């Protein structure tokens, strides 16, 4: 499951998860809408291992600034609250899982 969070929830949950993937996206962005269902499906495979969050860059501009999100969608991978890597734009599921696995 991909949980939609605000800034506060992001800090309380994503920052404290052992491994978290945050999907920075926006309602006006076409590729974001296409990525969301792909990520939802991927998140099922990682249940209990990786926590998935969705961040709306318009609602949480400070988080977008903090992680230097200059283009959406942008996936940010965190380990214990530390930034590890980012993935920009839409990517097919096998490439996303390879990206996550490579960072575990």
Stretch binding another protein (CB under 8 A), from 11-19, 47-55, 76-84, 86-94:
86-94
CA 2 to each of CA 21, 23: distance values in angstroms, whole numbers, following the listed order: 9, 9
For residues 64, 68, 73, 78, the Cα torsion angle rounded to the nearest 10 degrees is: -80
Which residue of 39, 54, 64, 78 would you call a contact of another protein, by CB under 8 A? Answer: 64
Beta bridge partners of 77: 21, 85
Residues in binding contact with another protein, number by CB under 8 A? 25
Separation between Cα atoms, residue 89 and residue 20, nearest integer Å: 18
Nearest to another protein of 78, 91 (CB atom): 91
85: phi then psi, degrees, rounded to nearest 5: -160, 165
Active site residues per annotation: 29, 32
Under rule CB under 8 A, which residues in 28-47 are in contact with another protein? 28-31, 34, 37-38, 41
Q: How many CB atoms lie within 10 A of CB 91?
A: 18
Which residue of 6, 11, 12, 71 would you call a contact of another protein, by CB under 8 A? Answer: 71
Q: Which residues are at the interface with another protein (CB under 8 A)?
A: 26, 28-31, 34, 37-38, 41, 57-58, 64, 68-72, 74, 88-93, 95
């Amino acid at each position: 499951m991909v949980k939609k969070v605000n800034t506060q929830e992001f800090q309380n949950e994503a920052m404290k998860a052992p491994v978290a993937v945050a999907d920075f996206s926006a309602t006006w962005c076409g590729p974001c809408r296409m990525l969301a269902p792909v990520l939802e499906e991927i998140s099922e495979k990682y249940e209990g291992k990786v926590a998935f969050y969705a961040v709306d860059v318009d609602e949480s501009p400070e988080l977008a600034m903090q992680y230097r999100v200059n283009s959406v969608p942008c996936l940010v991978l965190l380990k214990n609250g530390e930034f590890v890597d980012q993935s920009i734009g839409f990517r097919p599921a096998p490439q996303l899982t390879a990206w996550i696995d490579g960072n575990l």
